[in-house]
Structure 1
Amino acid sequence: MTLDPITLGVIQAGLQQVCDEMDLAFSRAAFSPVIAEADDRSDGIYSAIDGALIAQGARGLPVFVGTMQFSTRHILERIAQGLTLPPDPGDVYIVNDPYLGGTHLMDVRFATPFYRDGKIWCWLSNTGHWPDTGGMVPGGFSASATSAEQEGLRLPPVKLFKKGALDPEIYAIITSNIRIAETRIGDVKAQAAALLTGAQRLSALLDRYGDPTVEAAIAEIRTRAATQMRAMIATIPAGTWTAKAFIDSDGVVDEPLTIALAVTREGPDLAFDFAGSSAPCAGPMNSVRATTLSSVYLAMRHIFPEVPISAGAFDPLHVTGIEHTFLDAHYPRPVSGCAAEVSQRIAEAVFAALVPALPERVIAAPAGTSGNFALGGHDPERGRDYVMYQISGGGYGGNADHDGLSNGCSTIGISKAPPVEIMEQQYPVLYRRYALHENSAGAGRHRGGFGLDYEVELLRGTARASFVMDHGRFGPQGALGGRDGGKNRVEIIRNGETQTPEHLSKAQDIPLSPGDRVRVRTPGGGGYGPPAARDPAAVAEDVRLGRYAPEEAAALFGLRPTAPAAAARPISTPPPRRG
């Protein structure tokens, strides 16, 4: 069937709209701030044949573009092998196993078959970040875990809903192994409702245009996505481009981990060879294969955003050399840092390798950390336990056209920090500070963006704090002569004494009492181009706004701005929002 361009474009937009509405339904109905406010979730449509991505919403996390495709494929394979019960209409499978196309255990996936005329036409799937799935520490981000069991409850694909009804036995097993179980039903029902919304909207689209027309459009979109990606790859000069990125430590052994990358344009395709990267590590900074591949895909989506989201966009991208490295973790390696931290460092390596080849398109390194901060404790005033999860923004890298965005979302997604007011309402904490991380932007012709500086105080009860962050040892890389961005800084203030974690931005089970505080200063983005080439007026404006002291500006950019600096510095900035 040949489709005219207008019909093809309308159906393509319609498929994405289905996913967008699933995303909105999920966030609006969820109980947990990390989903309802921070939008740490994603929804998509996947092939009934091989689980290949058909469409994903623009409001979903980019890192889930690849991983949800792999997890759906694993469900199909396990059904075919008899390892998972075959589906009936109304069934919803739950899975969070990192080694079956997942990320970390807190990213919980739901998948349901979508039927037309009694046959499975496609699968609808979504992922939501649950605040806790058990394990050693509240929130699941154990900085010193050495096995998957220490990180939380691991679920293979099982039917949580059977023919539309929640299975009370499966649900009881889950809630018996996680913290704050009484509130989980809100997220579970929101996640299932999003799939129901998707089924209703997709049915309407198919009824309007007919199954054969929509099926032809999906096939054409996949073909065109591959063609467009290859057309973009053709703009890269022939040759091999290399780079390295470093992770501070694995949380157990205080030594850096290396991501070594060689990107080669091989005719119309692009090869990403990670041979020479560090071996599997003891701590939780291993990455599973699905996350590693998805990190490459999302990096290329940043570079070539024109290419539509479809499995076809991934066909020309070939990843090799990850076997026997920490980028291809197998059970029981711990992986809590893979999606939020290692994935961003993989993307950083891709940017660093390709910025000389595509200087007009590729940015200097962004902050590259989600700033995972979990606080679990008991609130005596409300008589209940809680698990608070905080993600943070950071600076984006400068680029050929302008400075980097300050306090932007992480490289891997659109997740934003929940509003301070919501966090203070939900948990016994007070934010003493929420401001830009001054002087954190990497100097350059176009400087990086500034990170975030926040300080949170425990008001009552007792709690335990845990961190899995990165870029505390090395700042985000500058590009083409630009300087590195500022490093991540974590401080714990207890009894008037300030402590820094041994692994800089990774620690767990830190006891807090009322009045104790945690201060986090997230990285700024890397600078782009030589700092001396920066417009003096732009330097003067940064000084006027209090982002640099005059002497800092002189040292970084090799000149002293002539404009007078403002007497007062800004003390706050709103939480990061979607760009």
Structure 2
Amino acid sequence: MRSSKIDGITLEVMKNSFYTIAEEMGVTLIRTALSTNIKDRVDCSTAIYTKEGELVAQAEHVPLHLGLMPSVVKEVLKMYPEDELKEGDAILINDPYISGSHLPDIFMISPIFYRNELIAIAANIAHHVDVGGLTPGSMSVKATEIFQEGIRLPAIRVRKNGVLDSEVIRLLEKNVRTGEEVLGDIYAQLAANSVAEKGIIELVEKYSKDHVFLCMKELMNYSDRRMRNAIEKVTDGEYTFTDYLEGDGITEDLLKICTKVIVDRDTITVDFTGSNEQTKGPVNSTHGVTSACVFYALKSLLEPDVPPNAGTYRSIEIIAPKGTIVNPNFPAPVSNANSNTSQRIADTIFGALADILPEKSMAACSGTMNGFSIGGFNKDRNKYFSYVETYGGGQGALTDMDGMDGVHTNMTNTLNTPVEVIEQSFPFIVNKYALVDGSGGPGKHRGGLGLERELVLLGDEYTVTLMSDRQNNKPWGLFGGHGGENSSCTVITPEGERKELSSKVTMSVPKNTTIILQTAGGGGYGTPIERNPDEVLKDVVLGHISVDEALHQYSVVIDEKTLKINYQETNVIRNN
């Protein structure tokens, strides 16, 4: 119900206060982290919660992280009820089978006290570059059970009553390959939560505890009202879509994800019944990851500007049958679901609602985070290293604009690691980093271009893991738009032999191996012949498509020497 005690202006002021605290947490985490994966790529997320574990505000970080963190906080509070929490406590958890995504994502959860009373919870998540397991990076595609993927932290206090637990710190340091970086990032996570504690206490002292609690509650109610209002504008009915993953790392069999979106007045149910059984390889999506994908896709389509908090998702129900690829049974491996399965789940929801929400829909993006890791022992520095990155691709086109080129899409929102940082931090040389011309799906609005990076490895017997997809099935277009081009990965041996890799591989490579990774383009939106000829010419001038492609894909005649459009011939071809 609408509160009579909080007016709209006050609620807006408090909303911005909460979100500012979450953003300040993120800035602190990023600026104090040690690994390139966090300080450069920003593979982390931050948020604040009520003392009961209800999401209040989050920073604009990684959608996958932010959508699953609430379930983690709730589970931790079940294990540590209010009377067991102490001021200065900090809890670590990464166990996907309590709640979470995969083992490299370590959550830091801290209670916030004011005058000996629990008033809020601060939480953050950071993707650590190694947590043990079969291979550097802890995401081997050959893992067949969670025990092979790294150390599991089942909600343990790394700080008690404000005192860091040195035994837990030693345990962590000795069970990972890159202990210095992992501990550095853990300390950054502690610092981020301390910023939240300071900010929330300042709000309480400025306005009063009861006022802060009431504003938290009303902010969630406000988001709930807006989301339900958006759902009511969608025609009631059942809408389905099916898409596929290209193997699990053990086999290359197609893996089906079936999605039914049921709209009923002001509620939505997303049902994954009929999806593939859980797999032997590590592409199984935990319930938390699956939920995050649902929340992201529906919010993006229905009410993208609504403040994201617990109220935003009250109207959404998720049916994810146990023992399937979207909700596996223990101890199924899960490390690669973040990179691939999460993206395909989001794709199916966008696909299911495209026909009834054409003006808000988007063609398929590259469809994978293109997870890529390289690790081993760096003899020059006498230490282990672990390079972890996800590569952007083409965004799907929309009803009124082209897809963006070479960006992270849907469930990921990280940055790229700059070439200079890669070459300073790791024993690699970057020969090339560029967009893949011609990879965007043709349409009235073109799909975004994929990107290409070429690395030369300067050391011997490094372990390479590729967690990709869309090598065979193109990212689909919408309403007559064509699909984007597929991804690929090529290895060139020191002897010059070229080998094409499958989309999911873990392998050891010798010194001076070259790896060329190309990511998929986004799908096009609308019939290509409807594209503005001037936009086609622009793509030709920029080198994104050739003169021949302009003719055969878009029916636009361009003089190769003058790079001018022959409008007369173009109109004749298009009209016929």
Letter in 1 for 2:384: D
* Offset at residue 135 of structure 1 (A): 0.6
Question: Could you tell me how far apart the structure 2 residues matched to 1:167 and 1:214 are?
Answer: 32
For residue 340 of structure 1, what is the amino acid of its counterpart? S
Q: Aligned runs of 1:185-264 on 2, under 5 Å?
A: 185-264=183-262
**2 CA distance for matches of 1:386 and 1:497?**
27
Q: Deviations over 1:317-358 (max 9, x none)?
A: 111143332100121000011222211111111111111111
2:286 maps to 1:288? yes
Q: Please tell me whether the aligned partners of residues 540 and 563 of structure 1 are also in contact (alpha carbons under 8 angstroms).
A: no
Aligned position for 2:115: 117
Q: Does 1:68 align with 2:69?
A: yes
Report which stretch shifted further, 317-326 or 112-121. Answer: 317-326
1:525 matched to 2:514: no
Given candidates 16, 22, 30, the residue that maps to 1:19 is 22
Distance 2:32 2:351 in 1: 40
1:335 aligns with 2:338: no
Deviations 1:12-70 (Å, cap 9, x if unpaired)? 01000000000000000000011001111011112222x22111112x21112221100
d(CA) in 2 for partners of 1:342, 1:481: 26
Measure, in 1, the Cα distance between the counterparts of 2:47 and 2:486: 35
Instruction: Indicate conservation of the 8 Å contact 2:100/2:289, yes or no.
Output: yes
Contact 2:130–2:182, Cα closer than 8 Å, also in 1: no
Amino acid at match of 2:515: V
Per the alignment, do residues 550 and 192 of structure 1 end up closer, same or farther by CA in structure 2, a change over 3 Å counting? same
The question of whether the paired residues in 2 share the 8 Å contact of 1:464 and 1:512 is answered with no
What amino acid is the match of 2:497? E
Determine the C-alpha separation between the residues in 2 that align with 1:159 and 1:553. 61
CA deviation profile, 1:210-250 (whole Å, cap 9, x unmatched): 11111111111111111101111122222222111211111
**Equivalent residue of 1:63, what SS?**
helix
State the match for 2:572 in structure 1.
Answer: none
SS of match in other structure, 2:84: coil
Cα distance in structure 2, aligned partners of 1:62 and 1:526: 21
Q: Which residue of 547, 550, 555 maps to 1:553? A: 550
Counterpart of 1:463 in structure 2 is 462
Answer yes or no: is the 8 Å Cα contact 2:42–2:414 preserved in 1: yes
Change (3 A) 1:426 1:233: same
Q: What do the CA deviations read for 1:506-539 (whole angstroms, capped 9, x no partner)?
A: 10023231x2111110111111111121112211
What is the CA distance between 1:169 and its match in structure 2? 1.0
Which range moves more in the overlay, 161-170 or 418-427? Answer: 161-170
How far off is 1:89 after superposition?
0.9
1:48: which partner in 2?
A: 51
Give a deviation string over 1:67-117, Cα, whole Å, max 9, x none: 11000111111235xxx9932110100000011220011100000111122
Q: Name the structure 2 match of 1:534.
A: 531
1:562 CA displacement: 4.4
Instruction: Give the match for residue 103 of structure 2.
Output: 105
AA matched with 1:551: D
Partners of 1:111 and 1:395 in 2: CA distance: 35
Correspondence for 1:4 among 7, 20, 24? 7
The offset of 1:461, in angstroms, is 4.2
| Cα drift, residue 565 of structure 1 | 8.0
In structure 2, how many angstroms separate the alpha carbons of the residues matched to 1:265 and 1:496? 56
Cα contact 1:44–1:55 (8 A) shared by 2: yes
Determine the C-alpha separation between the residues in 2 that align with 1:143 and 1:374: 11
Q: Is the 8 A contact 1:141 1:372 kept in 2?
A: no
Q: Do the aligned partners of 1:111 and 1:125 also contact (CA within 8 Å) in 2?
A: yes
Aligned to 1:133: 131
Is the 2:471–2:503 contact (alpha carbons within 8 Å) kept by the matching residues of 1? yes
**Secondary structure of 1:346's aligned partner:** helix
Distance 2:187 2:561 in 1: 56
Once residues 507 and 163 of structure 2 are traced to their aligned partners in structure 1, the CA distance between those partners, rounded to angstroms, is 38
The aligned residue for residue 577 of structure 1 is none
Q: Is the 8 A contact 1:537 1:561 kept in 2?
A: no
Q: Give the Cα–Cα distance (whole angstroms) in 2 for the partners of residues 509 and 89 of structure 1.
A: 46
The secondary structure found in structure 1 opposite 2:482 is coil
Q: Which runs of 5+ in 1 are unaligned?
A: 567-579
Structure 2: runs of 5+ lacking an equivalent:
564-576
Amino acid at match of 1:193: A
| TM-score normalised over the length of structure 1 | 0.94
Residue in structure 1 matched with residue 168 of structure 2 by the alignment = 170
- 8 Å contact from structure 2 (residues 369, 412) kept in 1: no
User: C-alpha deviations, 1:152-193, integer Å up to 9, x for none?
Assistant: 111100001112222111111122211111332211111100
Secondary structure class of the residue paired with 2:283:
coil
8 A Cα contact 2:320 2:327, kept in partner: no
Q: Provide the rounded CA distance (Å) in 2 between the counterparts of 1:500 and 1:165.
A: 52
Q: Is the 8 A contact 1:91 1:161 kept in 2?
A: yes
Q: CA deviation at 1:444?
A: 0.9
Residue 409 (str. 1) matches residue 421 (str. 2): no
TM-score, scaled to structure 2: 0.94
- The residue type equivalent to 1:19 in the other structure is A
- Distance of 2:529 and 2:519 partners within structure 1: 25
Report the alpha carbon displacement of residue 556 of structure 1 after superposing the two structures with TM. Answer: 2.5
CA distance in 1, matches of 2:508, 2:97: 29
> Which of 25, 28, 33 is 2:31 aligned to?
28
Aligned residue number for residue 346 of structure 1: 345
Determine the structure 1 residue equivalent to 2:541: 544
The secondary structure found in structure 2 opposite 1:74 is: helix
Q: CA RMSD of the aligned region, Å? A: 1.6
Asked if residue 516 in structure 1 is aligned to residue 519 in structure 2, the reply is no
Deviates more, 1:245-254 or 1:544-553: 544-553
What is the rounded CA distance, in whole Å, between the counterparts of 2:476 and 2:562 in structure 1?
Answer: 28
Q: Which deviates more, 324-333 or 550-559? A: 550-559
Instruction: In structure 1, give the amino acid aligned to 2:13.
Output: V
- Report the equivalent of 2:377: 378
Match of 2:296 in 1: 298
Measure, in 1, the Cα distance between the counterparts of 2:526 and 2:317. 30
Letter paired with 1:508: T
2:570 counterpart residue number: none
- Secondary structure in 1 matching 2:151: coil
The answer for the alignment partner of 1:313 in structure 2 is: 312
d(CA) in 1 for partners of 2:562, 2:209: 64
* C-alpha spacing 1:260/1:564, structure 2 compared with 1 (3 Å): farther
Give the number of equivalent residue pairs.
Answer: 558
Contact kept? 1:70, 1:100, Cα under 8 Å? no
TM-aligned CA distance change 1:317 to 1:479, over 3 Å: same
Farther off after superposition, 242-251 or 322-331: 322-331
CA distance in 1, matches of 2:20, 2:556: 50
Other-structure match for 1:159: 157
Return closer, same or farther for 1:198/1:563 CA change in 2, 3 Å cut-off.
farther
Give the Cα separation in 2 of the matches to 1:564 and 1:56.
Answer: 53
Tell me which moved more, 17-26 or 367-376: 367-376
